[in-house]
Amino acid sequence: MAYQLADRRDVDFVLHEQLNLSALSEHDAYSEFNKKTIDLVISEARNLALKEVLPTNAPGDQTGCELKNGHVAIPEEFKRIWDLYKEGEWVATSEDPDWGGQGMPHTLSMACTEYLSGANMAMYMYVALTHGAANLVETFGTDSQKKKYLRKMYSGEWTGTMLLTEPGAGSDVGALSTTATPNADGTYNIKGAKIFISGGEHDMAENIIHPVLARIDGAPAGTKGISLFTVPKYRVSEDGSLGELNDVVCTGIEHKMGIHGNCTCSLSLGEKGNCVGELLGEPNKGMRAMFQMMNEARLFVGVQGMSVASASYANAVTYAKERVQGPNLMTMMEKNPPAVPIIQHPDIRRQLLTMKANVDAMRSLLFYIGYCADRIKVSDSDEEKEQLQGIIEILTPIAKGYVTDRAFDVCSHGMQIYGGYGFIEEYPQAQLMRDCRITMIYEGTNGIQAMDLLGRKLGMKKGKAVMDVMAEMQKTIAAAREIEALSPLADELEKAVGKLGEVAMHMGKTAMSAEVMNAFAFAHPFMTVTGDVAFAWMHLWRAVTASEKMEKAKKKDKAFYEGVIAAARYFIEAELPVSQGRMRSILTTSNAPMDIPENAFFG
């Protein structure tokens, strides 16, 4: 069987029918991106992903990366793909054309990423990290730094990373011990060690630019004293030419469960006392700068999760249509009943619809967040910009945390549908599941995303941002009530939104009381129910859009729209009631997790 990627019809549905993305072309910033151009870009990304990138996925996973004498060799197949990414200008799809970007809407860039990351997640990480590092330089760098780094990073001639994590600090970035000592020429000597650095050392590009978090000598403790620096693998002259090798050494690479084709490195900085970096942005403001990259990275991780879940779902549907095993349940009592494709079996259909419902909602939610960012860029209203930014802030932990939780579930179903073959590495489902698992961990574990939602986002702007999201949900509910067949679904979503509001008030109050520890013990369940309601919202919105198109639809489109409505019905009728039970559980806020003695867990 041929392995598959994202459903192009659903990608088009979200872009053109649900969001009407081409309407952005009425604004100067996106004037080139009419529907025809959007479709051409998606077709190019899909063709590149299917024909060139996908064939490198399994070989890259099998080969992995190898460290020899401080240098890392990545899978040989990846180098040609990197050249194709450079030639097609895929590294900086949504960035400023003045610096070598394509200037496309973020929503369109996300759609391209779904194909390219779904085809080879480990390989596309090099693109995303380079883009994120360059974006930091563009936002916080001096004119000199921009001239030195940006074009070569956005073009893919150089790559980029993100150096946060340290052996003794982990997710507690404020505990870092990497130091920065000022030099007379305005540069800094950097000394320290970083771990879990994706793309930290490789032989694919002639230079690697490392944004590094470090503490300037004498700076305050904790996150308040952290600054951000650019530390290149090879030092860069003012004219952009390469100088001598900097004192950045790869001391090891991790042997991981998945993403084998992406080198996850341990880096030693300044072991010989000669690691030179430049301050990026203001002193002691490194965390503020880095959070820009982190927020971008968290949305990208959500897209990563969706991309592999989408591929797993597409493969599972194809396999279920082709795999013949067992009689249809309705004919099994007949004499010698014929075997049928497993897609006819009820449990397989339930799993496939569960996968579809999750993948479709992921796509709509993530593209919607990208669309909010695009609307900020074209809006003339400060009030609208602030409202849209608040919606993005609320939905970001959902996009990273909840989406990747569900993506892993989808990949698990994708393996299950293959049966024993799913557990065999000869087939794609095992690798997709292994690769997907990291999305729940890096760029802030999903537990941290849940804490962010409860501790920071819930009370943001005195709760206005949350209320703005719920107001958007109510608009969809009102539109659905105008369609008779969708009115019962609208009622169910309205009940869930009301219950979520009650839970949010309870969690907010508990988090500000003496029971704060109990509240945060339920932060992840709270993120889960918030994500459930967000997915239900997306499904109802999709169903409204499909229903409005149904009357004039052609035969093949009618079947697609029926599928949209069926997925909405399934999620709201079968999954949302489970969420209501979770909400009741959260309202109890059991103190058992905090009351149990530590030595009662084991031994």
Give the active site residues.
443
Query: Count H helices, E strands: the chain?
Result: 20, 14
Give the residue among 129, 185, 124 at the shortest CA–CA distance from 154.
Answer: 129
The residue among 299, 249, 301, 250 whose CA lies nearest residue 275 is: 249
Of the candidates 432, 64, 434, the residue with the CA atom closest to the CA atom of residue 258: 434
3-state secondary structure labels for all residues of 440-482 = HCCCCCHHHHHHHHHHHHCCHHHHHHHHHHHHHHHHHHHHHHC
99 with 154: CB under 8 angstroms? yes
Phi, psi of 160 (to 5 degrees): -140, 165
Amino acid at 406: R
CA 21 to chain centre: 20
d(CA 480, CA 541): 8
CA distance 465 to 63: 46
d(CA 93, CA 90): 5
Q: Using DSSP, state whether 197 is helix, strand or coil.
A: strand
User: What is residue 34's three-state secondary structure?
Assistant: coil
Integer Rg of the chain from CA: 25
CA–CA separation, 12 vs 547, rounded Å? 16
Structure tokens at 159: 């790559």
- Tell me which residue of 460, 448, 444 sits closest to 504, measured CA to CA: 460
Question: How many residues are listed for the chain in this entry?
Answer: 603
Cα–Cα distance between 7 and 360 in angstroms, integer? 9
Residue 178 CB partners (closer than 8 Å, separation 6+)? 166, 190, 191, 192, 193, 194, 212, 213, 214, 215, 269
Burial 109-134 (b: 16+ CB within 10 A, else e): bbbbbbbbbbbbbbbbbbbbbbbbbb
- CA–CA dist 532, 413 (Å, integer): 18
Q: Is 31 helix (H, G, I), strand (E, B) or coil?
A: coil
Give the tokens for residue 487.
Answer: 């009115």
d(CA 405, CA 297): 16
CA dist list (Å): 540 to 116, 171, 383, 591, 592: 28, 37, 27, 36, 37
Cβ neighbours of residue 93 closer than 8 Å, sequence gap 6 or more: 101, 102, 104, 108, 109, 112
